[in-house]
């Protein structure tokens, strides 16, 4: 039996935290699409590194090139840095690097060098000025193609960027897909899960992908 829902939240839905369904869509909590998480590195206006743990993104391309699409909250440092510098780097961290990823959220001040303050090491990119994170097995250097609000009056902005250079650690270069997933050990963001029938919400977490 299929259950049909309009996009409006219902009164009996438990919010996982105050205003959750105003800040995010309740549908994200009811549908649970796992998003891969990655660190977006950019440069602040003062030249210090910014690192943003992020998950609203996807990748697409053809023989004409490969691009990253990301949705960023307006008002955040990453959004401002990309609008100014028109570039960013996407670094894929492993589950084992969860603690330094969390540190990037805790040490988010303008004076922080967010890569080193988090416990990572910065390394220069090849094409862009934004630094890469040395410990991440994959780094994708991106240059801005276009950006626009998600919709009129939205507080979120969509960015598309061409991937102009990639650094792959040799450990991630195996042709064995099972081993590749084990090596990458990419963290997937699974938000708190809402049962729209009962309205109950339970804590989500970070998942990983494995072949059955």
**Nearest 5°: phi and psi at 71?**
-110, 125
Residue 81 CB, nearest distance to ligand FMN (Å)?
8
50 binds ligand FMN per the rule CB under 6 A: yes
Q: 86-105: which residues touch ligand FMN (CB under 6 A)? A: 105
145 binds ligand FMN per the rule CB under 6 A: no
Pick from 72, 115, 128, 191 the residue near ligand FMN by CB under 6 A.
72
Residue 201 CB coordination number (10 Å): 22
Residue 51 CB, nearest distance to ligand FMN (Å)?
7
Pick from 77, 107, 132, 157 the residue near ligand FMN by CB under 6 A.
77
Piece in contact with ligand FMN (CB under 6 A), picked from 48-56, 139-147, 159-167, 172-180: 48-56
78 binds ligand FMN per the rule CB under 6 A: yes
Instruction: Say which residues have a Cβ less than 8 Å from residue 143's Cβ, sequence separation at least 6.
Output: 86, 87, 127, 128, 161, 162, 164
Q: What would the two tokens of residue 196 be?
A: 């729209």
Q: 25-44: which residues touch ligand FMN (CB under 6 A)? A: 37
Instruction: Say which residues have a Cβ less than 8 Å from residue 21's Cβ, sequence separation at least 6.
Output: 9, 13, 15, 29
d(CA 201, CA 16): 6
Q: How many CA atoms lie within 13 A of 159 on its CB side?
A: 29
d(CA 212, CA 96): 22
55 binds ligand FMN per the rule CB under 6 A: yes
52 binds ligand FMN per the rule CB under 6 A: yes
73 binds ligand FMN per the rule CB under 6 A: yes
Piece in contact with ligand FMN (CB under 6 A), picked from 23-31, 51-59, 116-124, 139-147: 51-59
Indicate the helix (H) or strand (E) that contains 148: strand 138-149
116 binds ligand FMN per the rule CB under 6 A: no
Residue 15 CB, nearest distance to ligand FMN (Å)?
18
Contact between residue 132 and residue 123 where contact means Cβ atoms under 8 Å apart: yes
Q: 174-193: which residues touch ligand FMN (CB under 6 A)? A: 189
Indicate the helix (H) or strand (E) that contains 30: helix 26-31
Kindly list the residues in this chain that would bind ligand FMN in the complex (CB under 6 A).
37, 50, 52-56, 72-73, 76-78, 105, 108, 189
């Amino acid at each position: 039996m299929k259950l049909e829902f309009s996009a409006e939240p219902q009164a009996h839905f438990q919010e996982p935290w105050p205003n959750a369904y105003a800040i995010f869509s309740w549908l994200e909590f009811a549908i649970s699409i796992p998003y891969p998480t990655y660190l977006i590195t950019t440069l602040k206006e003062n030249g210090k590194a910014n690192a943003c743990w992020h998950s609203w993104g996807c990748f697409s391309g053809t023989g004409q090139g490969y691009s990253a699409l990301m949705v960023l909250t307006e008002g955040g440092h990453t959004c401002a840095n990309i609008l100014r510098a028109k570039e960013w780097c996407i670094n894929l961290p492993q589950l084992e690097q969860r603690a330094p990823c969390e540190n990037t959220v805790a040490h988010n001040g303008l004076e922080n060098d967010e890569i080193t303050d988090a416990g990572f090491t910065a390394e220069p990119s090849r094409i862009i000025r934004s630094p890469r994170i040395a410990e991440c097995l994959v780094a994708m250097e991106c240059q801005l193609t276009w950006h626009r609000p998600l919709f009129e009056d939205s507080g979120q902005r969509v960015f598309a960027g061409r991937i102009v250079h990639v650094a792959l650690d040799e450990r991630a270069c195996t042709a064995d897909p099972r081993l590749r997933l084990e090596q990458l050990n990419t963290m997937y963001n699974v938000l708190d899960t809402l049962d729209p029938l009962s309205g109950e919400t339970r804590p989500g977490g970070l998942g990983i992908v494995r072949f059955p």
